[in-house]
Amino acid sequence: MKMLQTKSSLTIIFSLQLITGVPIIFDRGVDDYYWKLRADLLQSEESIAFGGDLHLDENEICANHILMCAKYKEIDEAFYNQREFLPRANFLTVQKKIEQSDVFKIIQKMPKGALLHAHDVATVSQEYVLWNVTYRPDLYVCDIEGKLKLQFFETPDKYCNWNLLSKLRVNASIENEINKRILNQMSMITDDPARAYSDGDKAWEKFQSLFEFLASFMRYKPVFEDYYYQLLKESYDDKIIYAELRTPLPTLYDLNGNKYKGLDVVTIIKDNVERFIEDHPGFHGVKLIYSKNRRVNKQQLNKYLKIYKQIKQAYPSFVAGFDLVGHEDKGPALKTFAEQLLPETQMQGFFHAGETDWYGLETDENLIDAVLLNAKRIGHGYALPKHPKLMEILKERDIAIELNPISNQVLNLVSDLRNHPASILFAENYPIVVSSDDPGLWGAKGLSYDFYEAFMGIMSRNSDLRALKKLALNSLLYSSISDDEMVKAFRIFEKQWQEFLSEMDEKFQP
């Protein structure tokens, strides 16, 4: 019996040697080798995981110690009381608790590089929209079948029973009630998301209604301009130095009856970006990704591609690329437009693809078409681990995945972020950037919340400062900025990083 046990143990050891490449030297007992090979195997996994290829200097090691003490404490306490583990709960119910986390507070201080996946009109905080935008003069309100519609007028049209919002708000009780209704119509926030959004379709119905509500009054030119400035300010305050924003280039209006379309809107955005950079020299800049809803026909897509070529020709360094957005399960598959997009493969694509929990349907196969259509980055890529061959190709071509943890949770793809398929991508060091998608619609700002959820809920307990730093570095490396711009961006980032390390030493020491 003893010989059989030894033989079995040796079989295990030889198998582990084959996996790890660690040679066996018979100068101690079999059990010693078991524990050595076990440690080596864990070390091997850690070295190939996301961030494992980075090395920390002395100051970073000190900062990492502070960070990991906080992380281990939070995770280990939750291990014995899982209700306290925040990433397992819907973000809408735990936002305030996240803000109290020591890990989150550290992440807030950390430079995050670039925001690469965000939709412009859904990115600014709700507080700004409510108190700054809806309290402006000339804003009218109309109640249509229990839903509010807001629009700026000099003289309101006759298609609705419009009331000047400022007059209604003179009455405090009416003001309070209207504000509650406005917040409800521009927010996913609810006390019971599991009941309100019992499936993905219900979540998407609510989600799309928010854009419809915001559209009419956010397209007022003075509001749109100030909104963009505020978007950059909130990003900058969260240690973001560069952004690539998806925008449909909506038609803007003013009180004089003027309309601003396409190229005019790009010019308006560019002017506001330049104004912000002038006020904030530490901000590197913005590029636009022209994005239209995927629920279009081929004729409409041709029209959008024509607009894209026009704005790209006018502002080649400001317009980064093109995307089709919206609910993938309800829209035409990307292959529907393959023949139109194939001649445009030199056009930089940033396609939303694989934002689904289905397997083997056209929706998750959008991932295949995104790669074949030469995507520079893929938005979401939630279904990617179901396509092992495609995963190999992504790594070979170095195509980045834009991961949006909170968006995936709020829109009901995954309830507990520990089960997010991106954990596989982190374990195998795929090119990943973390983004925020539509943070203003669920009460978040910037990137800190999504960084926290990825770091605590999707990555390993042992993922450390190297992983967070790599997220920031990746966001610049996989951006659309030129080589010359990249040098400047990394110089800004490195300065911020050193300031972060100094602040960690001063403020977070126990």
Known catalytic residues are 355, 380
8 A C-beta contact, residue 238 and residue 446: yes
Distance CA 245, CA 87 (A): 26
Three-state SS for 353?
strand
Other Cβ atoms less than 10 A from the Cβ of 154: the count is 9
Among candidate residues 165, 196, 85, 133, the one with its CA nearest the CA of residue 458: 85
Other Cβ atoms less than 10 A from the Cβ of 246: the count is 27
Distance CA 463, CA 51 (A): 8
Among candidate residues 75, 64, 65, the one with its CA nearest the CA of residue 101: 75
Distance CA 312, CA 55 (A): 39
Please state, in angstroms and as integers, the Cα–Cα distance from residue 182 to each residue in 141, 223, 281, 438, following that order. 10, 17, 35, 18
Among candidate residues 222, 188, 219, the one with its CA nearest the CA of residue 202: 188
Q: Which long-range contacts (CB under 8 A, 24 or more apart) does 42-47 make?
A: 44/20, 45/427, 46/460, 46/462
8 A C-beta contact, residue 385 and residue 391: yes
Helices (H) and strands (E) in the chain, counts: 21, 13
In the structure encoding, which two tokens stand for residue 436, read together?
């925020």
Antiparallel, parallel or unpaired: β 139-144 and 163-164: antiparallel
Please state, in angstroms and as integers, the Cα–Cα distance from residue 32 to each residue in 22, 42, 183, 393, following that order. 14, 16, 62, 40
In the structure encoding, which two tokens stand for residue 312, read together?
């790209």
Residues 6+ apart with CB under 8 A from 345: 373, 374
285 Rama class: left (phi>0) / alpha (psi -120 to 50) / beta: left
Distance CA 9, CA 18 (A): 14
What is the 3 state secondary structure string of 4-21? HHHHHHHHHHHHHHHHHC
In the structure encoding, which two tokens stand for residue 295, read together?
């629920």
In the structure encoding, which two tokens stand for residue 280, read together?
């904030």
DSSP state of 251: P
> Tokens 């349907």 appear where?
361
Among candidate residues 291, 295, 294, the one with its CA nearest the CA of residue 308: 291
Distance CA 354, CA 508 (A): 40
> Tokens 């143990």 appear where?
9
